[in-house]
Amino acid sequence: MKTAIATVSISGDLKEKLAAIAAAGFSGVEIFENDFLAFDGGPREVGQMVRDHGLEISLYQPFRDFEGMPEPQRGRTFDRVERKFDVMQELGTELMLVCSNVSPISLGGIDRAATDFRELGERAAKRGLKVGYEALAWGRHVSDHRDAWEVVRRADHAAVGVILDSFHTLARGIDPDTIRSIPGDRIAFIQLADAPKIDMDLLYWSRHFRNMPGEGDLDVPSFMRAVMATGYKGVISLEIFNDQFRGGSPKSIAVDGYRSLVNLMDGVRRSEPGIDLTLPAMPDRIAASGIEFVEFTANEEEAEELGTLFAGMGFRKAGRHVSKDVTLWRQGDINLVVNMEREGFAHAAYLVHGTSVCDIGLKVEDATATLERARALKAQPFEQPIGPGELKIPAIRGVGAGLIHFLDERSELGNVWSIEFRPAEERDETAFEAGLTRIDHIAQTMNYEEMLTWTLFYTSIFATRRTPMVDIVDPGGLVRSQAIENADGSLRVTLNGAENRKTLAGHFIAESFGSSVQHLAFSTGDIFKTAERLRARGFKPLEISQNYYDDLEARFGLEPDFTDRLKAENILYDRDGEGGEYFQLYSPNYGEGFFFEIVERRGGYDGYGASNAQFRIAAQKRSLRPAGLPKLGPTSAKAPGNP
């Protein structure tokens, strides 16, 4: 499969763009005319730069306002074409994109346009060049790929083909299956872009909000299934206009683009048997069934404070690593690991970020297959020397500052706790625990500009889906939140994008020096019983405004006794349209905004209590650690039962 990306899709000057595109793994590049015009060098130099990076120029674009022009403009248009053909020959590319005319003086008519393209084809063929005609969604006379194809069909010239762009087709709601009637050898080029569904002017939507396939809401897979059904064998390219991408890292955005294309076409190949595609060998998206462990990095003093905190929530010290300074804390199916090593990745993470989550272990169907798919999608594998008694656990670098390890039950990885850890103590687990059963979800906080990268990362590697994005109101601004989930909800990751450092999320990123896990949510089967046990262990919950409960009672029509129980334990409450209920209990802040959440879901509730977030954030901001206090926690007193 030949892949390309338009230079307009990423930031930087032309040299930076080409380097990033080549490093990401693309085989070709579309030279966007403005990038060429802004470059301080001739077309031969640009062509050589492209080839030096191991790339080919798949397309030169765009040529505007061509067909249907009256005289004398028509004659001048063909003069302009000849100048562009000169540039193309020096660049060393043979295909030019001609987009449908938007000029107010242009004349309509399929036959008139076809006549112009027939002459254009003659001129191109004399130079060994070709042209492709694309219907802009806002074209004056041609705004539908079916009309563009009819122009090409009537032009009936071997040097003239149709160019199809997923945005222009899908944004107008045109059935992509209409592409199936176009002969594959008459399709000159394919451009792809996704986009969030927004009701706005098509031109503005296109120029500012396109994103990579799989990052938006358009049915790009159906578009590509229709294209491949035609027998198309040419280049599959990305043309993305996005304000965030223009200000982002060229390397990161280029990798996202390559990942999105490979993931998309892997899905098309699996859903359309018989399609001939040369793709990296990889397993299908991986089934993940939950979070096996969360690892913290800390020094000795802060590890003791973490232990106090964990014990206060009913965790017991369950094991010590056989060869490293690592402790395992456990409750139900929750495994929390505290790493105090003085070398290796965890220690490096501590030096940069302080006490923080540095590693997540995911339960997957096949750990080896997960690593294979991640590699094929340009994730970075991670390895470090293993000590005595340790297993070699497949791992990759996550999109933020941490690692992701993969464990399965089909190999010895399923016995990691008994192999790598020695029991730390014997005690009555039932009496010690607070009723926490599993990790309901982890919440990762990042700059808003990173959210699309994180979303694509999770949904391309794992069999997960995106939930709709919601706005979380923080007194300091908005935070965008989106969840990544598997089908049965056993794996949930919420992504929270901060737009400024005045928000709690933005403060956490700034003070922790980068994106990371900001909170862990634990499940319980009875939140009131858990709250009672936690209180007995000295746990002090985040204090919620009493005004919240007065409004809650009126909003949901709650019984006063029930509201009083919620208020007494500082439990937040939500209910969905089907009667499902959600209960939330929060710890105070630890460090610069890290916290724990305890949740109970009843009646099939599938959300995250977004309506409660602003009240929780307001309470957290009131309790932010004053300058000069220790990093971890509002108290250093040992909880009952802490070793």
Cα 224 to Cα 190: distance, rounded to the nearest angstrom: 9
Cα 619 to Cα 309: distance, rounded to the nearest angstrom: 20
Q: 399 vs 34, which has greater pLDDT?
A: 34
The amino acid sitting at 433 is E
Contact 289, 486 (CB under 8 A): yes
Residue 174: predicted pLDDT: 98
Task: Tell me the three-class secondary structure of 279-309, residue by residue.
Answer: CCCCCCCECEEEEEEEEEECCHHHHHHHHHH
Question: Per the annotation, does 365 bind a ligand?
Answer: no
* Token duo for residue 136: 């802009």
* Token duo for residue 565: 């129980």
Residue 635: predicted pLDDT: 36
Residue 310: predicted pLDDT: 95
State the CB neighbour count (10 A cutoff) for residue 403: 21
**Residues in Cβ contact with 38 at an 8 Å cutoff, skipping those fewer than 6 apart:** 13, 14
Check pLDDT > 60 for residue 355. Answer: yes
Task: Please provide residue 421's backbone torsions phi and psi, each rounded to the nearest 5 degrees.
Answer: -125, 140
Question: Per the annotation, does 488 bind a ligand?
Answer: no
Residue 425: predicted pLDDT: 67
Residue 641: predicted pLDDT: 38
Residue 283: predicted pLDDT: 95
Residue 8: predicted pLDDT: 97
**Residues in Cβ contact with 115 at an 8 Å cutoff, skipping those fewer than 6 apart:** 155
Contact 8, 240 (CB under 8 A): yes
- In this prediction, residues 260-275 reach a mean pLDDT of 90
Beta bridge partners of 335: 330
What percent of the chain clears pLDDT 90, i.e. is strictly above it?
88
Cα 573 to Cα 30: distance, rounded to the nearest angstrom: 52
Q: How big is the CA angle at 345 (ends 281 and 460), to the nearest 5 degrees?
A: 30
**pLDDT band for position 259 (cuts 50, 70, 90):** very high
Cα 492 to Cα 607: distance, rounded to the nearest angstrom: 10
Query: Residue 419, Cα to own-chain centre: how many angstroms?
Result: 35
Cα 509 to Cα 518: distance, rounded to the nearest angstrom: 9
Q: 239 vs 280, which has greater pLDDT?
A: 239
Place of tokens 């499940």: 523
- Answer whether the bond into residue 104 is a cis peptide, omega within 30°: no
Tens digits of per-residue pLDDT, 167-216? 999 999 999 999 999 999 999 999 999 999 999 999 999 999 999 999 99
**Residues in Cβ contact with 252 at an 8 Å cutoff, skipping those fewer than 6 apart:** 453
Task: Please provide residue 43's backbone torsions phi and psi, each rounded to the nearest 5 degrees.
Answer: -60, -35
Place of tokens 């080919």: 56
Place of tokens 């032309």: 14
Dihedral sign of CA atoms 622, 637, 518, 469 in order: negative
What percent of the chain clears pLDDT 70, i.e. is strictly above it?
96
**pLDDT band for position 625 (cuts 50, 70, 90):** low
Residue 428: predicted pLDDT: 55
Residue 545: predicted pLDDT: 93
The amino acid sitting at 159 is A
Q: Residue 344 burial (CB < 10 Å; 0-12/13-18/19+)?
A: middle
Residue 1: predicted pLDDT: 87
Task: Please provide residue 138's backbone torsions phi and psi, each rounded to the nearest 5 degrees.
Answer: -115, 20
Question: Per the annotation, does 165 bind a ligand?
Answer: yes
Question: Per the annotation, does 302 bind a ligand?
Answer: no
| Largest Cα–Cα separation, the chain | 93
* Token duo for residue 158: 């071997």
* Token duo for residue 535: 């209180």
Residue 634: predicted pLDDT: 39
Check pLDDT > 90 for residue 512. Answer: no
Check pLDDT > 60 for residue 242. Answer: yes
Check pLDDT > 70 for residue 66. Answer: yes
Residues of the chain with CATH 3.20.20.150: 3-271
Residue 640: predicted pLDDT: 36
Stated length of the chain? 643
Cα 259 to Cα 255: distance, rounded to the nearest angstrom: 6
Residues of the chain with CATH 3.10.180.10: 288-622
Question: Per the annotation, does 134 bind a ligand?
Answer: yes
Cα 119 to Cα 204: distance, rounded to the nearest angstrom: 33
Tens digits of per-residue pLDDT, 403-435? 999 999 999 999 999 999 999 865 655 567 899
DSSP 252-281: HHHHHHHHHHHHHHHHHHHHSTT-------
Check pLDDT > 70 for residue 633. Answer: no
Task: Tell me the three-class secondary structure of 156-212, residue by residue.
Answer: CCCCEEEEEEHHHHHCCCCCHHHHHHCCHHHEEEEEECECCCCCCCHHHHHHHHCEC
Task: Tell me the three-class secondary structure of 331-370, residue by residue.
Answer: ECCEEEEEECCCCCHHHHHHHHHCCEEEEEEEEECCHHHH
Closest CA to 158 of 176, 134, 178, 183: 183
In CATH, the number for domain 3-271 is: 3.20.20.150
In CATH, the number for domain 288-622 is: 3.10.180.10
Question: Per the annotation, does 94 bind a ligand?
Answer: no
Question: Per the annotation, does 191 bind a ligand?
Answer: yes
Residue 427: predicted pLDDT: 60
List C-alpha distances in Å: 30 to 81, 125, 168, 238, 488. Answer: 18, 21, 18, 9, 41
**pLDDT band for position 636 (cuts 50, 70, 90):** very low
Q: Look at residue 1 and give its three-state secondary structure.
A: coil
User: What crossing angle do the helices spanning 110-126 and 73-91 adopt, rounded to 10°?
Assistant: 40
Cα 332 to Cα 315: distance, rounded to the nearest angstrom: 9
State the CB neighbour count (10 A cutoff) for residue 476: 18
Tens digits of per-residue pLDDT, 547-559? 999 999 999 999 9
Tens digits of per-residue pLDDT, 120-170? 999 999 999 999 999 999 999 999 999 999 999 999 999 999 999 999 999
Contact 305, 633 (CB under 8 A): yes
Tens digits of per-residue pLDDT, 532-548? 999 999 999 999 999 99
Cα 14 to Cα 8: distance, rounded to the nearest angstrom: 10
| Mean pLDDT computed over every residue of the chain | 93
Query: Residue 155, Cα to own-chain centre: how many angstroms?
Result: 43
